Structure 1
Amino acid sequence: MTKIATIDEILAAAKAGEDITTEDAIALLTQTDADTIAAIRSTANYLRQQQAGETVTYVINRNINYTNICEQHCSFCAFRRDQNQPGAYWLDWQTISAKVEDAVAKGATEICMQGGLNPNAKINGKSLPYYLKLIHTIKSAYPHLHLHAFSPQEIQFIARSDQLSYTQVMVALQEAGVDSLPGTAAEILDDNVRKILCPEKINSQTWLEIISTAHQLGIPTTSTILSGHIETPSQQAWHLEQLRRLQQTAIANNYPARITEFIILPFVGQEAPKPLRHRVGRDQPVLADTLLLTAVARIYLGNYIPNHQPSWVKLGLAGATTALTWGCNDIGGTLMEEHITTMAGAIGGTSMTPTQLQQAIISLNRPYRQRDTLYRILETQ
C-alpha cells in the first residue's frame, strides 16, 4: 500500500526539485488551514525565485478581438453575439489597421488577436483566406510585430470549415505571419465539465492535439486554465497534469517550440448567462482561491513551464500584484483594450500603461523588465 505523503513531505519534495503528483496537488488545493496555506505560498514563492528569478517581467501589447459574432453558445461567455443581435460587431480592415498603428505608436511589440467563430468570416466561400487577410493587414505594415493569434478553437473552426487538417491550417497561418498561438479555449481539460461549460467547443483531446502539433511545427503557445466555476480540485489537478505532460513531450522530443507561459483565468460571472451564474453563485473571482491555485500551479508546473502570469483584468491590478508573491514572475501585458472579460463584468479594467505595471512591481521591491512575447528581455531601459 502506497504511503500518503504529508503536506510537509510534498512541499519538501517540491523544494528539492521533484515533481509532485496529482494526488499531491489535490491535497494542496484542498487545504483550509491558514498556516498550511502560508507554507504552500512560501514554497511557491521559493520555487518562483529558483526557476524564474526575482525580476518581474511585462509586455507592451494590444488585444484585438476582431469580432464577437460566434456560432457557439458557451455557458460562461458574455462576449458572443449572433450576427443581428444588439451589440454584435465585426471590425473592418481599416479599423484593425488603425488599432495596430496606434499600438505601435505606444511601443507595442505584440498584437494578441482572437475572436468569435463567425461563420460569415470568409473570402470566396472559404474561412482560411479571411484569416490570412487578417494577418496580412497587420504584417504587411509591421512585419516585425509579434502576432500572437488564434486559439486552438479557431484553428479547429478554420479546419472544419474548409475541410483542412490542423497542420495545413497552422502551416498556412505560420507562413502568413502568425508567430505564436494563445493557449486559450482550454477552459478545464475535463470533458465532463466541458459538456456543461462549452458543449459545442472542441474536446480536451483536440485542444491537446492542436497545441502539440503547433509545437512540432515550431509555433510557441501559451497555456491557460479557467478556474473557479464548477470544477473540482481533482479536475484542476488533472488539468495541470495534462499541461505538464504536453510540455514534457515537447522537451523529450526536442520539438522546436513549447509552452511559453501559464495563466490562470478566474471565472467572472457578473454578466454570464443566468444558468451558470446561478450555479456558481457569485459574480467575481475569489482571490484566495485563485492565489492557492496559483501557488499549486507553480509547484506543479514550474520545472517545465517557468513563466507564470496572473490576470489583472480578472483580479484587478492589486490582486495580480499579490499573485506575484504566490508564484507568478510576470504581470502580463498592457492590453490597451480588452472586451471578452470586461463584457463578462470584470472589474480590472481594459488597459494598463507600462508605468502602472512598473509601479505595481516596484511596490513589492522587485525589479522589473520589459520582455517580448517569448520572454526575451528587451534592452529598452
Structure 2
Amino acid sequence: MITQTVDAILNRALTGEDISPEEGVVLLHQTEPTLLAAIQETADQLRHRQAGDVVTYVINRNINFSNICEQHCSFCAFRRDAGEDGAYWLDWGQIQEKTTDAVRRGATEICMQGGLNPEAKINGAFLPYYQRLVRTIKDEFGQLHLHAFSPQEVQFIAENDGISYATVIAALQEAGVGSMPGTAAEVLDDQVRRILCPEKTNTVTWLEIVGTAHRLGMPTTSTMLSGHIETPEQQMGHLEKLRSLQKTARDRGYPSFITEFILLPFVGQEAPKPLRRRVGRDQPVLKDALLLTAVARIFLGNWIPNHQPSWVKLGLAGATEALRWGCNDIGGTLMEEHITSMAGAQGGTCMEVETLQEAISSLGRPYQQRDTLYRHLPTPRLAGML
C-alpha cells in the first residue's frame, strides 16, 4: 500500500502536477531503499526537465562584516558580544581589501551579511551605515553584484530607524544592492522559531519582507535550516510557504522573485550546548539531507527551478552527491566563510573553481559559470558535453 502511494505521488509529479504538503510528508517518511531510489530518480528527472543537465556555479566572496550581534539564537556559534573574545567588526579599509582580492580572483558577486550590531550607526541611524557598506564596494567596483542583507537585517534597520521595510529595501537598492539573501528563514514555523531563534523575526514578517523585495524589483534567494528539532510536517510547511510566496510574485506580475532554493543542514558541533544536547549530533546526516533535497525538488521545482546544496555543511562529496538528488547548482567559491565554519562544519571555507568543475565533471555533467541571477557567463574550460 505504501509503495502504491509513493508511486502515485511520484507519477503525479512526473506529469507536471504540484504535489501537496501532505504528500511531501509521505515521501519524507520513507526509509525502504527501493522507494528512496524511486524518489531520487524522480527528483533527478524533474531537475533535468526544469533546469537541464548543466551544473552551474558562481565565483563569489562572503564578507561577514561583523559577528557582534544583539540576538541570541540557540543554534548560532558565530555571534559575539562587543568586547568578547573573538568579536570583530571590519572597518572600511578591510572591506575594500577583501573586495579587491575577490575581484583579482575573478569574483562577480559579493555576498555580505553580518550580526545585528547595535553600534552600526552613522549620526544615530542604522540605514546610513548599511548604505555606506554598500557604497564602499560599489563606488570602486560597480561591476560587482552585491547580494546583501537578510530579511532579519532589513527588519533590524527598519525598527531601529522607525521606517518601513519598503523604505529600507528601496534605499539599499539605490545604494547598489542587487539581491537579498533568503537567510534568517531557518524553519518558517513559529513553534520551531520560539526555540531556535526567539528574538528573530517571525514567519509572517519574514514572508512580508521577502514579498516586499519582490514587489520592489529585488530578487531574493530562499533557504531552510534543516535537521535539528523540526518535523517532516514543519519542513513541508516551510516549503509550502516558499512555493506560495513564489506563486504570489508570479501571479501579481512582480518584477522579481525567488531565484534559488538552498538547503542548509544543521551543524551543531560548536552550537550552544542546550540545542546541541537536544539535537544529539554534531554533523548533518547525509541521507536525511539528500531525501529532503529530493523532496524539495519534487515540491518546489515547478516554481523555483534552481536548487543548490551547501558544500560548506555537507562537504564537497556530499554536495556532489546532492547533484544526483535534484540540485542543478553547486554554489559558489565563497573565498571565506565564518558562520558555518565557526559552528564546526568540516566542508571548508573556500573552494577553487577548478575543484568545483572537477566535482561536477565526475558525474558526467557539464559545468557552467553563472552570475547571481543565473545568467550564464563565459567559462574558460567549459565541458564539451553541451
Determine whether 1:288 maps to 2:283.
Answer: no
- For residues 34 and 276 of structure 1, the distance between their equivalents in structure 2, rounded to whole angstroms, comes to 31
- Structure 1 position 84, deviation (Å): 1.1
Determine whether 1:186 maps to 2:192.
Answer: no
Cα contact 1:146–1:373 (8 A) shared by 2 = yes
- For residues 336 and 161 of structure 1, the distance between their equivalents in structure 2, rounded to whole angstroms, comes to 32
Determine whether 1:198 maps to 2:197.
Answer: yes
3-state secondary structure, aligned to 1:327: coil
- For residues 101 and 269 of structure 2, the distance between their equivalents in structure 1, rounded to whole angstroms, comes to 31
1:375 maps to a residue whose letter is Y
- For residues 169 and 336 of structure 2, the distance between their equivalents in structure 1, rounded to whole angstroms, comes to 26
Q: Which residue of structure 2 lines up, in the alignment, with residue 125 of structure 1?
A: 124
Q: Which residue of structure 2 lines up, in the alignment, with residue 149 of structure 1?
A: 148
1:157 maps to a residue whose letter is F
Determine whether 1:314 maps to 2:313.
Answer: yes
Q: Which residue of structure 2 lines up, in the alignment, with residue 24 of structure 1?
A: 23
* TM-score (normalizing by structure 1): 0.99
Q: Could you list the runs of 5+ residues in structure 1 that have no partner in the other structure?
A: none
Structure-to-structure mapping, 1:96-107, within 5 angstroms: 96-107=95-106
- Structure 1 position 5, deviation (Å): 7.7
Q: Could you list the runs of 5+ residues in structure 2 that have no partner in the other structure?
A: 381-386
- For residues 34 and 279 of structure 1, the distance between their equivalents in structure 2, rounded to whole angstroms, comes to 28
1:19 maps to a residue whose letter is D
Q: Which residue of structure 2 lines up, in the alignment, with residue 139 of structure 1?
A: 138
2:261 maps to a residue whose letter is F
Structure-to-structure mapping, 1:1-381, within 5 angstroms: 6-381=5-380
Identity %: 71
Cα contact 1:5–1:24 (8 A) shared by 2 = no
- Structure 1 position 241, deviation (Å): 0.3
1:22 maps to a residue whose letter is P
- Structure 1 position 32, deviation (Å): 0.9
3-state secondary structure, aligned to 1:321: helix
- For residues 60 and 106 of structure 1, the distance between their equivalents in structure 2, rounded to whole angstroms, comes to 8
- Structure 1 position 169, deviation (Å): 0.3
* TM-score (normalizing by structure 2): 0.97
- For residues 157 and 98 of structure 2, the distance between their equivalents in structure 1, rounded to whole angstroms, comes to 24
- Structure 1 position 379, deviation (Å): 1.9
- For residues 31 and 65 of structure 1, the distance between their equivalents in structure 2, rounded to whole angstroms, comes to 38
- CA distances 1:217-260 after superposition (whole Å, capped 9, x unpaired): 00000000000000000000000000000000000011000000
2:256 maps to a residue whose letter is A
3-state secondary structure, aligned to 2:41: helix
TM superposition outliers: structure 1 runs of 4+ over 2 Å: none
- Structure 1 position 380, deviation (Å): 3.5
1:114 maps to a residue whose letter is Q
- For residues 378 and 64 of structure 2, the distance between their equivalents in structure 1, rounded to whole angstroms, comes to 29
- For residues 340 and 5 of structure 1, the distance between their equivalents in structure 2, rounded to whole angstroms, comes to 43
- For residues 379 and 53 of structure 2, the distance between their equivalents in structure 1, rounded to whole angstroms, comes to 19
- For residues 110 and 217 of structure 1, the distance between their equivalents in structure 2, rounded to whole angstroms, comes to 21
2:50 maps to a residue whose letter is Q
1:51 maps to a residue whose letter is Q
- For residues 86 and 33 of structure 2, the distance between their equivalents in structure 1, rounded to whole angstroms, comes to 45
- For residues 51 and 166 of structure 2, the distance between their equivalents in structure 1, rounded to whole angstroms, comes to 32
- For residues 253 and 133 of structure 1, the distance between their equivalents in structure 2, rounded to whole angstroms, comes to 33
1:139 maps to a residue whose letter is K
How many residue pairs match? The answer is 378
- For residues 214 and 228 of structure 1, the distance between their equivalents in structure 2, rounded to whole angstroms, comes to 28
3-state secondary structure, aligned to 2:291: helix
